[in-house]
Structure 1
Amino acid sequence: MTTSFRARESVSAPIPEVFSPTVSAKKAQSQLWVKARFDKIVSGCEILADLATIVAAVLCAYFAYHSLQLGKRIQYSPTAVLGVAFAFACVGVWLLERNGAYRRDSSLLRVKETERVLRVSSQVFLAAFSITFFTSYLLSRWMIVFAFLLVPVFLIAEKQFLIRAIRALHIRGYGMRKVVLYGAGPTGRRIFSVLVRSPKLGLDPIAIVDDELARIGTTIFESSYRPRRSAAVLAGPLTQELLWQYDAEMVVIADPSISRDRFSEIAKEAIAADAAISFVPQHFAPSDYWINYMNLDGLLLASFEGPKSRSSYDYSKRFVDLALSLALLLLTAPLLLFIALIIRITSSGPALFVQQRVGQNGKLFMLYKLRTMHTDAPPYAYSPKTSADPRITPFGQFLRRTSLDELPQLLNVIKGEMSLVGPRPEMPFIVEQYNWLQRQRLQVKPGITGLWQLSADRNFLMHENIEYDLYYIRNRNFSMDLAILLHTFVFAARGV
């Protein structure tokens, strides 16, 4: 950084605080030392926190087991209890590491982190439960059950606290790299949103540059539903001087259609400003979801494979869908009747809205919803992007914020037309416009909730958020389904 900083002295740009004369040399040196090792420090703290959290959860499980006096009351010495708790913790942390929990990446709306915790907890539970059958060591099964229930809760809460702590450190300037985005199109907007929502990445999008006149001066928000963070689009070109002005450490070329010459120009400016370069590939293959690579005598050949059938998972999921939907429908029946009455009182027309949608393999079905729009609204049109749409009734705004309007779709799940978790079903006129990649959404049953609903990117059309659906379709399992359901309840409770 020394060479690049000397070059910056001739530019009339604000001097970074770390080099300001008002900041002591010791503080500047400390900040640079922490910044260089921030990722390792955070990973180490996260591992220690996970160890302590699992130990605490197992100890709480032990005390709960003794307090409730369930089963045979097996007495353990304090040393034995701590030994069991530490063994649980070591195995749990090892499995978390094997599942990529300590990698620095975006975790798909934190659902992936929750899914990891649930999967690892299940693996440790099965291993511990097996010990009680195949060894003579007296380990209470009730204690294992309590630990299985408490460990995920403790870990999820701890990781939420760590995310807040990391964000607080970033605000104070620790471990954050300043990023300038080039390209304010759909890809650039999505990258901006992901970087803002993923503090673990440590990448701060401080500016967005674009050469297209129609985009210059517009404002990009983190989300239309959560506009907590925004950035104005600056006029291009992206130059070395502009990168120096913002003290940028990374340039992200977020325009997949950029020409090779323009790419080379931006790369040249970034290198001159001593900034790292990242870019989105031109041929859109979302995280290589179904792309396999073959080496043909030095030539890399990419092949596309569709989603694979998972018969055992699908049959088991159908059983769970049916059981949960019947239970939820019985529990929410009084609430549904009450909401239907309010809809009839506050606006003219039926309480139930029925609309044709496209399901698995392109099969048409009738989807049920509680009516949230006026009856004179077109029945088949693009869904409202915001709750301020004039087509939505005042009470309908509340129903949409809390997702209560989706409850009648439990009937669709019972009928086998939908699942609790999956890609959202769309209307036929939208599906007719699908390209080959978007049609992969139709390979599985549509769901009441999914990653798209949790993304807060509902200002985009569902099929424009294709990476969420493709990720789910390829990686679907019970742990992910449960994680999505848990996040959905939190999402609905917040009313966003």
Structure 2
Amino acid sequence: MAASESYVASHLADSAAPGSMRHRAFPGGLNRYVLAGAEVIADLLTCVASLIAAYLVQRKVGGNLGYPLQRVLAIGAVQGLFAVLLLSASGAYGGCSSLMRIRETERAVRAAIQAALLLSFVVSILALQLPPMAVLVNVFLMPVLLIFQKQVTHSLTQALHVRGYGCKRAVIYGAGEAGRRITSTLLHSPKLGLQPVAVWSDGSVPASDGLSVLGYRRESAIPVRFEPLAASTLRSLRCNLLIMAEPHLSAAQFEEMKSIANQAGILVAFVSESAAHAEMQQSVADIDGVLLTSPHEHSTSWSYAFFKRAVDVFAATILLIGLSPVLCIVALLVRLSSPGPSLFIQRRVGRDGEFFDMYKFRTMVSDAPRYAVSPVTSSDPRLTSIGRVLRHLSLDELPQLINVLSGTMSLVGPRPEMPFIVATYNDHQRLRLRVKPGITGLWQLSAARAFPIHENIEYDLYYQRHRTFFMDIAILIHTIFFAVGGGI
């Protein structure tokens, strides 16, 4: 059983005796099946509700066409079945949530649109004569309802876990990059039924540090414990699973940790591959019974590149035209608030290390150093009064729509960094330069945006591994809600 994005492979031994290696069920297994079943039912009902709502809109706008509601219910059930099958095929019921639940939104949008379009085709073939307006409303409404329903389901499951229902307790050994990703994944994946209760240091972090959880807001940093791990401590924490989140444990260390877990009577899981190679996928070939594994980079299809560019051009054009009054007003306010130009042009590093000029509304005084660490607090003396407001509302980024049109940036992608910072990158950090930079992205939405990008590249590498057209749509949806929520 894997903890998904965190590269955990569990080798679950029966701890009744130290030498016994009989596999047994992963903690919370039954709970996961119950939750998955409940989620399937909720998805089915949501899809039926979407078609009923679309039908009622049709009746309200187009009048009563004499179309029986019973037939709408039957067609809605078929639509729900399509959506559930598509969601299941994409792994939506697997238990693990992704970083900031972006992939959950991606799956909901993709499955809803595909199911609605598939239903439209079936209705047309069978000549069921479903009102056209109802079909159109359904295509746009179902993704919205699915996203909302899944958010409610996620929140309810978390609330049950807070009260101690359906949740097992896990200890994480390792406070490095892998440990942080595992802890974050478990905290954001209530369907797994595993709650991290403590993190032990493997010596990779300073004693004064805590483990900051990846996510939208810096709501908590889990304290890291540094005393030797002992079976008595695990028993006192009433934990059910020990996760060794250190991919470079020696054989002796591994055996020692496994022995401690056996003495405590709990299961043990461990990281199966280095987080340093997290950006790589594995290609496996079976040659006459011999498995050969070779890492390869994530590649994107021509269709993804084509549609991504098409959406970039279309959306940037519409937004520049539609927001032109706002752009003019902001430019005027910047000029009136302090001496200097309205636009700030700065050289940034794009895809494959190429330089380009990035456009922003000026938020700092005109004599501030052009290339320096960006302000991280609103009290930074370099910021102007209007600049503080623009940064809080992210309006200073709007001129980058020009960059999107020119092709040097995309709507979604890693944030472009300044050359003097990129010059300090190591090989691992330079991996984030393999895709076109964007206005918004996972790092831009996270609490880590208050800290240096290269120290939090998990977000960018995650995006590189999983990027699809529907993931880009999901990130844009999360950006809208994030902006409405006022950020951190």
Q: How many residues align?
A: 464
The equivalences for 1:7-406 within 5 A come to 37-69=30-62, 74-210=65-201, 212=203, 215-222=206-213, 226-281=217-272, 283-284=274-275, 289-296=280-287, 300-375=291-366, 377-384=368-375, 391-393=382-384, 395-406=386-397
Higher mean alpha-carbon deviation, 142-151 vs 353-362, is at 353-362
Could you say what secondary structure the match of 2:151 adopts? helix
Higher mean alpha-carbon deviation, 180-189 vs 145-154, is at 180-189
Q: Would the alpha carbon gap of residues 345 and 292 (structure 1) be closer, same or farther in structure 2, given more than 3 Å must change? A: same
Residue of structure 1 equivalent to 2:475? 484
In the TM superposition, residue 220 of structure 1 has moved relative to its aligned partner by: 3.3
**Gapped regions of structure 2 (runs ≥ 5):** 1-13, 17-26
**Structure 2 counterpart of 1:42, which letter?**
L
In structure 2, distance between residues paired with 1:268 and 1:397: 55
Higher mean alpha-carbon deviation, 399-408 vs 100-109, is at 399-408
In the TM superposition, residue 276 of structure 1 has moved relative to its aligned partner by: 2.5
In structure 1, distance between residues paired with 2:393 and 2:94: 33
**Is the Cα–Cα contact under 8 Å of residues 118 and 152 in structure 1 kept in the other structure?**
yes
Could you say what secondary structure the match of 1:303 adopts? strand
In the TM superposition, residue 242 of structure 1 has moved relative to its aligned partner by: 1.4
**Greater RCO (Cα-Cα under 8 Å, separation 6 or more):** 2
**Is the Cα–Cα contact under 8 Å of residues 99 and 215 in structure 2 kept in the other structure?**
no
In the TM superposition, residue 39 of structure 1 has moved relative to its aligned partner by: 1.4
**Is the Cα–Cα contact under 8 Å of residues 176 and 205 in structure 2 kept in the other structure?**
no
Residue of structure 2 equivalent to 1:17? none
Residue of structure 2 equivalent to 1:12? none
Residue of structure 2 equivalent to 1:10? none
In structure 2, distance between residues paired with 1:266 and 1:293: 30
TM-score between both structures, scaled by the size of structure 2: 0.85
Question: Percent of aligned positions with the same letter in both sequences?
Answer: 43
In structure 2, distance between residues paired with 1:297 and 1:480: 38
**Is the Cα–Cα contact under 8 Å of residues 344 and 361 in structure 2 kept in the other structure?**
yes
**Is the Cα–Cα contact under 8 Å of residues 351 and 434 in structure 2 kept in the other structure?**
yes
Q: Would the alpha carbon gap of residues 219 and 470 (structure 1) be closer, same or farther in structure 2, given more than 3 Å must change? A: closer
TM-score between both structures, scaled by the size of structure 1: 0.84
**Is the Cα–Cα contact under 8 Å of residues 357 and 366 in structure 1 kept in the other structure?**
yes
Deviations 1:193-249 (A, max 9, x none): 343333333322222222549733433343697232332222221111211121122
Deviations 1:315-352 (A, max 9, x none): 33222211111111122222233333444454554432
**Structure 2 counterpart of 1:63, which letter?**
L
Deviations 1:268-291 (A, max 9, x none): 212221233233345335556432
In structure 2, distance between residues paired with 1:449 and 1:470: 15
**Is the Cα–Cα contact under 8 Å of residues 109 and 147 in structure 2 kept in the other structure?**
no
Could you say what secondary structure the match of 2:411 adopts? strand
**Is the Cα–Cα contact under 8 Å of residues 357 and 365 in structure 1 kept in the other structure?**
yes
Q: Would the alpha carbon gap of residues 208 and 391 (structure 1) be closer, same or farther in structure 2, given more than 3 Å must change? A: farther
Runs in 1 of length 4+ with deviation above 6 angstroms? none
Q: Would the alpha carbon gap of residues 57 and 225 (structure 1) be closer, same or farther in structure 2, given more than 3 Å must change? A: closer
Higher mean alpha-carbon deviation, 349-358 vs 231-240, is at 349-358
**Gapped regions of structure 1 (runs ≥ 5):** 6-33
**Is the Cα–Cα contact under 8 Å of residues 376 and 451 in structure 2 kept in the other structure?**
yes
Residue of structure 2 equivalent to 1:469? 460
Q: Say yes or no: does 1:493 pair with 2:484.
A: yes
